Amino acid sequence: MVAQARNNPENRCPICHKPTNPDAATLPFCSDRCQKIDLGKWLDGKYIISRPVEESDQDEGE
């Protein structure tokens, strides 16, 4: 995912929708703040995984 984000100059932060810097350590987020907001959403249970992760899903990332 990070490699795709680095190659796309039109990327926007998924939290605040500002343009992102492809060299930022917080990619795909524009800032540490937005990265922490996203983490908080995961921890609060606002995001869910719709199905169990299968072994074939793990192979796709390589």
Examine residue 25 and state whether it is found in any structural domain, yes or no: yes
What is the average per-residue pLDDT within 21-35? 94
Separation CA 22–CA 35 (nearest Å): 15
Q: Does the pLDDT at position 6 exceed 90?
A: no
Examine residue 59 and state whether it is found in any structural domain, yes or no: no
Examine residue 55 and state whether it is found in any structural domain, yes or no: no
Residue 7: pLDDT band (50, 70, 90) is low
Examine residue 33 and state whether it is found in any structural domain, yes or no: yes
Number of domains in the chain: 1
In terms of pTM, does the model score above 0.75?
no
Examine residue 54 and state whether it is found in any structural domain, yes or no: no
CA 30 to the chain's CA centroid: 11
- Residues 6+ positions from 41 with CB-CB distance below 8 Å: 47
- Residue 37, domain CATH: 3.30.50.10
Examine residue 11 and state whether it is found in any structural domain, yes or no: yes
Range of the domain at 40: 2-49
Examine residue 62 and state whether it is found in any structural domain, yes or no: no
Contact 32, 20 (CB under 8 A): no
What is the average per-residue pLDDT within 3-22? 79
Residues linked to residue 19 through DSSP beta bridges, in sequence order: 12
